Structures are given as structure tokens and as C-alpha cells.
Amino acid sequence: MYTRVKTDKEIAAMRVAGKICADVLKLVKNSAVPGISTKELSEIAAKEIKSLGAKASFLGYKDFPEAICISLNDEVVHGIPSKDKIIKKGDIASFDLGVTYDGMIVDSAISCLINSKDKEKLLLLEKTELSLMEGIHQIKHNCRVGDIGSAIQKILDRAKYGIVRDLVGHGVGHAVHEEPNIPNYGYGNSGPLLKKGMTVAIEPMATMGDHEVFVGSDGWTIKTRDGSLSAHYEHTVLVTDDGHEVLTISDS
Ligand code: MG
Ligand code: MG
């Protein structure tokens, strides 16, 4: 399904979902200290989402078993929380969360470096987040998907990072994944048009090495083929007449 122009009521629900998503991601990030398992972090997320009157969109999506995806180091996305996966000092932890409120879905992700000031790792996070913001900056009524991908690619190419190609941004709102796909590379003024009232998830995934990834033995976790470290940032964004509104943010 191509992402639909949302009604005012649907957009209002997505704003609420977006704030909850941002608040829960912040809580998970602050809880991610050395020694805690990713399963415990997932439980913290699940409890908070429920207490805020929302639902975890990924739980049960294609039988995904947890409330949040947590991916460590060479894991790019879709890591399954486990009691056997313990957060360590120096880990890059990526948290990817979908929240459903009043039937509407938002999708957002952050990466963080656990208890370390490693410059190379921090630079990977910083540039990946910057590429997300540059991609978002292109969004307005009648922009094209290639405008977004090209802006993201420019930042990550310049920093000499690998850009994961097998996974892409997407429309979102009524379903977790709606068309169009929004690659993190491409050419400006190419690809499908975005119209005001559409909602899209922009999500660059960068690696310190090559772009190639594979699905791990659990059938979910996507890892870098060369074992290089990876980062992932994502926001759900509303296309507006003269620009955009990032929905997955919190004012608190
Ligand atoms: Mg996501
Ligand atoms: Mg997504």
C-alpha cells in the first residue's frame, strides 16, 4: 500500500504516538548501562508503552517476539532482545521502536555508545544522525524520494562510511511499512513524489566498513558482512506544504 495522505485526526494520533516513542527511546537509552540485558531493556520499554496507553507495533509483527529491536555493534537492525545479551562498556547499541496509538503507527531509532568516549565510534553516530537530519531537511510537498536519499548519501560518502542498501526508509502510519521505499542513496529530482499529509520514516544505516549485510541465524538480526560496526537513526516525518514536521520527538 502506498502511504496515504493522513487526515487531521490520524496526524493527531501520530503526534501522540511520536511523543510516546521518543520518550520511551529516551528511557531505554538512559537504562542501557553495562550489565543490563537487552531483554530487561525490552521489558522496560514494553511496560512504559503500556502505561502511556499505547502499543508496541513490532511485537507480533511477522511474529517478532519483543517490544523493541535492540542491535549491538556489528548488528545493524532487527536484533531480538535476549536475557543472554548483556550490554557492555564500549558497545554501540541501536534501539528501534514502533509505537501504535489510536490505530496509527510511528517508527523511530537511535544509536548510543555505552559508557565510552571512543572518538571513532562517536563520529559514526554523529555522522549517521547528521545524515538523517539532512535527509529530513529535503522533505516538503512535491519533493522526490531521491532528494532525501541523495542528501543522506552525500554526508555518509564524505565520511567514508558504508551505506546499507538492503534496508531502506518507507512510508508509515496505517502499517509499519508502506510504500514508497526510501533508499539512503540516490539522485536528486528522481523517484516517487511525496505529498503534504503523507508520513514517512527516514532511516539511514551506516557502517564503518562495507555496505553488505546478512540475516543472522535467528532469522531476524541483520549484521554487517565484514563485521564492521554500525549505527542507525530514524524519525517519522509528516510532509507539510512548506516543509515537514518530525513526529517522533518529545518536548519534555
Ligand atoms: Mg524502525
Ligand atoms: Mg523503519
CA-CA distance, 173 to 12, in Å (whole number)? 11
Question: Which ligand number lies closest to the CA of residue 176?
Answer: 2
Domain limits, the chain: 8-246
Ligand 1 center from residue 193 Cα (angstroms): 22
Helix axes 145-158, 119-137, angle to 10 degrees: 160
Closest-CA residue to 16 (of 242, 241, 240, 236): 236
Question: Which ligand number lies closest to the CA of residue 69?
Answer: 1
Ligand 2 center from residue 203 Cα (angstroms): 6
CA-CA distance, 4 to 194, in Å (whole number)? 10
pLDDT, tens digit, 9 for 90 and up, residues 169-186: 999 999 999 999 999 999
pLDDT, tens digit, 9 for 90 and up, residues 13-49: 999 999 999 999 999 999 999 999 999 999 999 999 9
Question: Which ligand number lies closest to the CA of residue 97?
Answer: 1
Q: Please indicate, yes or no, whether the overall pTM of this predicted structure exceeds 0.85.
A: yes
- Given a cut of 90, is residue 156 above it in pLDDT? yes
pLDDT at 18: 98
Architecture label for domain 8-246: Alpha-Beta Complex (3.90)
Can you say whether the dihedral through the CA atoms of 52, 58, 64, 70 is positive or negative? negative
CA-CA distance, 163 to 112, in Å (whole number)? 18
Tallying the residues shown for the chain, one arrives at 252
Ligand 2 center from residue 168 Cα (angstroms): 8
CB 101 within 8 A of CB 10: no
Question: Which ligand number lies closest to the CA of residue 202?
Answer: 2
> How do beta strands 230-232 and 205-207 pair?
antiparallel
Cell 542498501: give the residue: 165
| Amino acid identity for residue 172 in this structure | V
**Secondary structure class of 99 (helix, strand, coil):** strand
